Amino acid sequence: GCFKPTRGGGGAAILLRYRSPLVSRYASKEMAYNFSDQKKFQTWRRLWLYLAQAQRVILLSKVTINRLGGCERFNQNKQMADVTSTPPKNWFPTMDFLENNFVVKELKKIYMPLLPGCPSRPLCVEMMYPFLHRPAQLTTVGKRSCLWLQDLCMDLCNLERVRNDLRFRGVKGTTGTQASFLQLFDGNHEKVEELDRLVTIMANFKRAYIVTGQTYSRKIDVEVISVLASLGATVHKICTDIRLLASMKELEEPFEKDQIGSSAMPYKRNPMRSERCCSLARHLITLVMNPLQTASVQWFERTLDDSANRRICLAEAFLTADIVLGTLQNISEGLVVYPKVIERRILQELPFMATENVIMAMVKNGGNRQDCHEHIRELSQQAAAVVKQHGGDNDLILRIQSDSYFAPIHSQLDQLLDPKSFIGRAPQQVSFFLLLLFIFSAAENPQNME
């Protein structure tokens, strides 16, 4: 018979409600926990404790410290703690006291370490082997990988900048004026400022925003999500390159022994990880529109129409960034390069790319450039017809070798057709880039350079 859902607990209940695939299928447990109710409630209690401790230091009050200390051990109940365990009403900080400062600030230890290492595998494998960029020019595996890595390093710098620029909202009160705290301190502005400073330090922030409304400026969300969206564009570009190269069988992402590429076509080896990255990266890129619109339509000090969408877009942005980075790292660590396939493709196009070198060599031997160009043009058209119309190999070089007109340079053809003569300074650029990257990494993380 057909399946009949029930309203019970356990597995059946899970089938009756939507679950975000970002958490149920893809996200790391660390990032999923970062947006969990447990983490949220624990952070609230911790902030209340900081506030009470700071007020105690300033001699406002010594009450409820023990009860608040117990809140720090809260780790089970997903509902708000009983009101008796919270500070008195005039202590209670607005929820924007927390906002997402903590969430953003703690992300470095979760996925920032992934960034520099993502394309390390293709940098180490066949670093200098030529890649065919287009029929007009060659590049190398290492050079292309360095371009990927450079974009990731730019994202890392931007993430560091946003994280370092992030400030604590601080103890600003309901609408940001600190009026209630000024009243509690009998009009003593210095004590209000000291309370703000102490709680900021306890929360492990170096600075607090000087002015806020009911919330911190929603432009801060724009800054944070913009950096993540830019990271999404980077990952999409890298994985698109990998997918294109995989279609030409020059490169391949990891493929497990028992992995099935297609239920209908057993021979297929789809770049499923790269496809997943591209799919999720597009979602990440679009998320920046939400905070942009939210920031633009805030009325005066705040409207409450920012709450619901922020709960969704902020969490999804970080969860998605975490997923695509983790997947990209997995791809990079198992990426396979196939030099023989690359070589075969290069040899198909190299004769056409070498025509300019042939013309220059003939001119150096006293030939007329226009006459040489016409001879090359005719032979190239004949060779192209063999390839396009008959599916044969490119025989341009054989035609040049058989043509007495080119006799003066027949002995130079091997040198003129050396693929390494077409890649310019790509090897030197790669070596210099990696040297600088190593020096930078050693300076940032000397313990990892042993």
By annotation, the residues acting in catalysis are 133, 262
State the CB neighbour count (10 A cutoff) for residue 422.
Answer: 20
Report the chain's terminal Cα–Cα distance, integer Å: 63
Is residue 130 within 8 Å of 420, Cβ to Cβ?
yes
What pairing do the DSSP bridges indicate for beta strands 251-252 and 137-140? unpaired
Is residue 362 within 8 Å of 372, Cβ to Cβ?
yes
Q: What is the SS3 assignment for 317-341?
A: HHHHHHHHHHHHHHHHHCCEECHHH
CA neighbor of 116 nearest in space, from 64, 160, 51, 81: 160
Q: Is 255 helix (H, G, I), strand (E, B) or coil?
A: coil
Burial class (CB in 10 A: 0-12, 13-18, 19+), 185: buried
Instruction: Please enumerate in sequence order all residues whose Cβ is within 8 A of that of 17, keeping only pairs 6 or more positions apart, or say none.
Output: none
Q: Is 252 helix (H, G, I), strand (E, B) or coil?
A: strand
C-alpha to C-alpha distance for 277 and 240, rounded to whole angstroms: 9
Q: Which pairs with CB-CB distance under 8 Å and at least 24 residues apart come from 405-408? A: 405/372, 405/375, 406/358, 406/362, 406/375, 408/362, 408/365, 408/366, 408/367
Burial class (CB in 10 A: 0-12, 13-18, 19+), 134: exposed
